[in-house]
Every structure is written in structure tokens, then in C-alpha cells.
């Protein structure tokens, strides 16, 4: 048999002809060639749509997050596009007019240990309230937050004091990152700290380093800015702030953490908080490259 002639006739290689001939000699059965072209679609469970919509309801997430949860949690081999199609069928997809194309990669710095550096910021929500939150730099855990009618330095001090007393960490907060808001600094004074200012005096008296974001660059405090986007998107679903914080810290996986294990901020805090034996009292930071 001329293997070259057979290979040309069926559009396969001579090596493949030899493999098929050997298989026939050994089994006595005629091998079946696969139909060329695209592989058949994966077989999905009958309740796939229900699973997607359940995750949509609980996490209020998009196709990328939902598909990743299904791959990690349920072991499904599913493409983001298939989840997007399901969400689209149920009117859960809307175009974002402000969405931009892929940006250049950028580098962020984050602490290696939890509980040493926190981000603190005020936010004006769509219900006319002032919101103050304290977020851990390394784990993204939000320790506490308040909703109030007005912002002040004394409220920032009270929130930091309550966090330092309540959260379970063997070391105190060593650094606070804020913007130049008047609740955090005296904008009319260049010398830092300005001890006539209540918040600056509190940090000075407690040996807490005060890191100020660059003026006009909100991304310097981008982690808590991103948290406030999540807050605005999900807050109305919950009756109390405690319920929302439980959802954010303990139920919703965070894409900036261990995404392969669907890690939440609470789980990351447990992983990253130093033990008493480790100390962890240094402001060690790691560079992380973020792709667009």
C-alpha cells in the first residue's frame, strides 16, 4: 500500500496513515477518522443557566467573574462568552459608555503584611450622605465604615481608634494613606504634621506615619476609590452597613487577591496578617504589575 497516496487522498499525513494501519492490524476494527474542523461545544450541566443567574444575583458580577467562579468552584470548562450570552438573554448586560480600550500596564505598590497600612477616605454617596471607610492595603479588608450627614476630622479619629481596638492583629497600624482633604490635614499649612489639626495630632501622638496622595492623582489612593465604586453598586441591596461589609469582606471574591482560589478580603487578611512571633512591624512593600 502506498501510504503517500492514501495520505493525499484523505488529507492526512503519511505518519497518520501508518498509525491507522497499525491500529487496524492490532484490533481488526476499521478506525474512524474525526471530522475535520472545530471541536464540538462543551457539554454543560442542565442547570447552567440557573447557576449563572444565581451568581449574578448574589455577587452582582459580570461574565468574567461569574465564569471564573464556575471554573474554580464547580470545575466547569466554560468560556466567558457563554456566560455573557446567558446574561444578555436575561437583560443583565449593559454597555459602559465610559469604558476605554486596554491601557498600558502600570505598577502598584502594596504591603506584604496586613494590618500595617490602611487607606482612609471620605466619599459622597448618591443619597447625600458622607461615607468614611478604613481599608487594609494588603488584604483589601474594610475594617469599618460610617455613613453620616457631614465629614470632620474628629469622626476620622474616632473611626481609626475603634478599628485599632477591635480588629484582631498583633501589631498596631503603622501608616495611614489619605488625600489632602481638610478632614485629614490643614490645607493652609505646609509643615507636616500640623499639630493644631486634630487628625494630624492623633497620628503624631500614636506614631502613625501619614502618607499623602499626590494632588490631582486620585489613583494614589486607588484601592479605596475602587472600593467606593463597589459600595455604590451594592449598598442598596443591604439593610445595614454591617450586612454590606459582610458581603464585601467574606462573600465576594476579590480579583486583586488570590483569584485562582476565589479569595475574599477576610481570607486574605488571615493569610497576610503577621503572627506575634513574626512581628511584621516593617512597612515592606511589593511591586505588582497590573495589565490594563
**162-191 as b/e, with b when 16 or more CB fall inside 10 Å?**
ebbeebebebebbbbbbbebebbbbeeeee
Q: What is the CATH number of domain 106-290?
A: 3.30.420.10
- pLDDT for the residue numbered 118: 94
pLDDT along the chain (292 residues), means of 10: 73 77 81 59 84 92 93 92 92 67 56 89 94 95 95 95 73 88 87 86 94 72 92 94 96 93 95 70 53 49
In whole angstroms, what is the distance from residue 173 CA to residue 188 CA? 27
DSSP 118-149: EEEEEEE-TTS-EEEEEEETTT--EEEEEEES
Whole-number pLDDT of residue 4: 73
- What are the sequence ranges of the domains in the chain? 1-40, 48-89, 106-290
pLDDT of 1: 58
41 CB-near residues (< 8 Å, 6+ apart): none
Check if the beta carbon of residue 132 is closer than 8 Å to that of residue 145: yes
Question: What sign for the dihedral angle of Cα 247, 253, 255, 256?
Answer: positive
HSE toward the beta carbon, residue 28, CA cutoff 13 A: 0
pLDDT value of position 292 = 47
Instruction: Give the per-residue pLDDT at 122.
Output: 96
Name the one residue in this structure whose C-alpha cell is 498583633. Answer: 170
Considering Cα of 206, then 209, then 214, then 217, what sign does the dihedral take?
A: negative
Amino acid at each position: 500500500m502506498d501510504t503517500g497516496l492514501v495520505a493525499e487522498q484523505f488529507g492526512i499525513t503519511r505518519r497518520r496513515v501508518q498509525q491507522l494501519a497499525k491500529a487496524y492490524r492490532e484490533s481488526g476494527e476499521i478506525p474512524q477518522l474525526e471530522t475535520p474542523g472545530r471541536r464540538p461545544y462543551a457539554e454543560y450541566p442542565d442547570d447552567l443557566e440557573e447557576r449563572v443567574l444565581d451568581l449574578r444575583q448574589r455577587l452582582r458580577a459580570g461574565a468574567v467573574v461569574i465564569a471564573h467562579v464556575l471554573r474554580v468552584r464547580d470545575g466547569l470548562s466554560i468560556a466567558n462568552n457563554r456566560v455573557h450570552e446567558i446574561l444578555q438573554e436575561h437583560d443583565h448586560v449593559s454597555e459602559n459608555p465610559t469604558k476605554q480600550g486596554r491601557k498600558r500596564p502600570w505598577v502598584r505598590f502594596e504591603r506584604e503584611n496586613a494590618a500595617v497600612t490602611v487607606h482612609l477616605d471620605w466619599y459622597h454617596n448618591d443619597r447625600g450622605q458622607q461615607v468614611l471607610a478604613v481599608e487594609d492595603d494588603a488584604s483589601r479588608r474594610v475594617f469599618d465604615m460610617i455613613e453620616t450627614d457631614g465629614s470632620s476630622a474628629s469622626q476620622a479619629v474616632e473611626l481609626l481608634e475603634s478599628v485599632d481596638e477591635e480588629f484582631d492583629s498583633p501589631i498596631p497600624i503603622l501608616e495611614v494613606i489619605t488625600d489632602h482633604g481638610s478632614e485629614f490635614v490643614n490645607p493652609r499649612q505646609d509643615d507636616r504634621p500640623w499639630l493644631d489639626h486634630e487628625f494630624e495630632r492623633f497620628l503624631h501622638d500614636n506614631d502613625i506615619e501619614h502618607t499623602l496622595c499626590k494632588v490631582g492623582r486620585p489613583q494614589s489612593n486607588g484601592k479605596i476609590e475602587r472600593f467606593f465604586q463597589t459600595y455604590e453598586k451594592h449598598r442598596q441591596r443591604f439593610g445595614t452597613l454591617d450586612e454590606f461589609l459582610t458581603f464585601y469582606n467574606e462573600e465576594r471574591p476579590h480579583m486583586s487577591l488570590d483569584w485562582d482560589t476565589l479569595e475574599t478580603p477576610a481570607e486574605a487578611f488571615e493569610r497576610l496578617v503577621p503572627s506575634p512571633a513574626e512581628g511584621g512591624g516593617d512597612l515592606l512593600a511589593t511591586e505588582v504589575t497590573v495589565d490594563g
